[in-house]
C-alpha cells in the first residue's frame, strides 16, 4: 500500500491522465477490500507466499492517498505470481521474490481481463527476500 500510494502520488502529479493500477495477492488483498468498503478494513488472515506484501491492515494515510489516486486494483493468485517469477527470469535472468513479481502478474492479468492492446505498461518490481 505504501509503495502504491507513493507511486500514485508521483505519477498523478506528473501525468494525471496515466492510469495507476495496484496489484495484490488474492490471499492478502487489504487495499482492494478497503477501497471496496470505502474505509480501511482489517483482514482476518493473510497468506504468506507473497510475504513482502502481506498486510492485514493498511494505514489511514495510505488509504487516503490510494482512494483518491488509484484507478483500479488487480488481485492475482499464487500461481499467477509464480508464472510472473518465471517470466521475469526467462526475460532477464533475474530471480524476483514473490512480492516483487506482483506487478508483472498484475499487468498480465489486467491485459487478459481488459483485452488492452497497443498500450504502454510499466511494472515496478522490487524486493530482496530471496535466500539460497
* pLDDT tens profile 58-104: 999 999 999 999 999 999 999 999 999 999 999 998 889 999 999 99
pLDDT value at 128 more than 80: no
Do residues 25 and 47 lie in contact, with contact meaning Cβ atoms separated by under 8 Å? yes
Buried b (16+ CB within 10 A) or exposed e, 4-13: bbebbeeebe
Rounded to the nearest integer, the mean pLDDT of the chain is: 93
**HSE of 115, CA atoms in CB hemisphere, 13 A:** 0
Q: Model-level pTM greater than 0.85?
A: yes
Amino acid at each position: 500500500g505504501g509503495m502504491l500510494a507513493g507511486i500514485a502520488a508521483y505519477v498523478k502529479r506528473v501525468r494525471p491522465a496515466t492510469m495507476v493500477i495496484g496489484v495484490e495477492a488474492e490471499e492478502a488483498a487489504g487495499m482492494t477490500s478497503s477501497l471496496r468498503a470505502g474505509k480501511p478494513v482489517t483482514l482476518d488472515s493473510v497468506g504468506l507466499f507473497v510475504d513482502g506484501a502481506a498486510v492485514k491492515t493498511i494505514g489511514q494515510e495510505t488509504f487516503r492517498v490510494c482512494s483518491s489516486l488509484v484507478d483500479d486494483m488487480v488481485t492475482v493468485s499464487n500461481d499467477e505470481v509464480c508464472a510472473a517469477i518465471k517470466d521475469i527470469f526467462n526475460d532477464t535472468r533475474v530471480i524476483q521474490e514473490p512480492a516483487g513479481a506482483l506487478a508483472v502478474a498484475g499487468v498480465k492479468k489486467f491485459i487478459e481481463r481488459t483485452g488492452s492492446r497497443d498500450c504502454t505498461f510499466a511494472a515496478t518490481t522490487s524486493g530482496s527476500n530471496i535466500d539460497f
